[in-house]
Chains A and B, each alone.
Chain A
Amino acid sequence: EAGVTQSPTHLIKTRGQQATLRCSPISGHTSVYWYQQALGLGLQFLLWYDEGEERNRGNFPPRFSGRQFPNYSSELNVNALELEDSALYLCASSLRGANVLTFGAGSRLTVL
């Protein structure tokens, strides 16, 4: 069974540009979570989608946005990139209402 897949693995952008990161959950999982892992800050919660709806949002500015598609895959968009957006972005999925998250390997975003 395929795990959570994320693309791209690496992405390099310059300040002010936009980045789009993608996530495919495990088959049958309807909940998708996005976390930012910047150096020294741990796993910071960004967004939670379930059944196509945004369920919750972390303490990030509005230029961080996303969506979940009918096939439960998800996209994270970061507009007007800033240097401090450089981080590993992790996507996780779970069954609806379940507590166990399965993480993908992440997308490393570098902003120059």
Chain B
Amino acid sequence: QQPVQSPQAVILREGEDAVINCSSSKALYSVHWYRQKHGEAPVFLMILLKGGEQKGHEKISASFNEKKQQSSLYLTASQLSYSGTYFCGFRNSGNTPLVFGKGTRLSVIA
């Protein structure tokens, strides 16, 4: 079952913050975040395993609430280079495939 991502799109000015949310109706084993720039392949950002941990990658961090089966991606002090489509992906177990949401298109303008 496909993760539900929100918002579908967001426009930010440089330096602003954004949050992208992702939820599942099933128990989760791991949460994955990828970014795809226009015309390019999706690129891995980070992975969060069960345990409610928070991880960071430059000024991009994420949290995983295992109880609520939700994950959020936090982008702080956004830069032009953050523009792209962000996908969350869920795995229900170690033996199930990575299933992605529909993506959130993020545009950062000067």
Contact = CB atoms under 8 A, between A and B. Distances in A.
B64 interface: no
A65 interface: no
A27 interface: no
Interface string A8-33: 00000000000000000000000001
A54 to B, nearest CB: 11
B84 interface: no
Interface range, B side = 20 to 34
Contacts of A110: none
Interface range, A side = 20 to 34
Nearest to B87: A43
A90 B41 contact: yes
Nearest to B100: A43
B103 A45 contact: no
Contact of A103 (B2, B30, B43, B103): B43
A48 B102 CA distance: 19
A55 interface: yes
Contacts of A90: 41-42
A35 B100 contact: yes
Given A42-B87, A43-B87, A55-B97, A100 B44 contact: yes
Contacts of B34: 101, 103
A79 interface: no
A101 B32 CA distance: 10
Given A4-B41, A99-B30, A101-B32, 9 more contacts: A42-B2, A42-B87, A43-B42, A43-B103, A55-B95, A56-B97, A102-B44, A103-B41, A104-B41
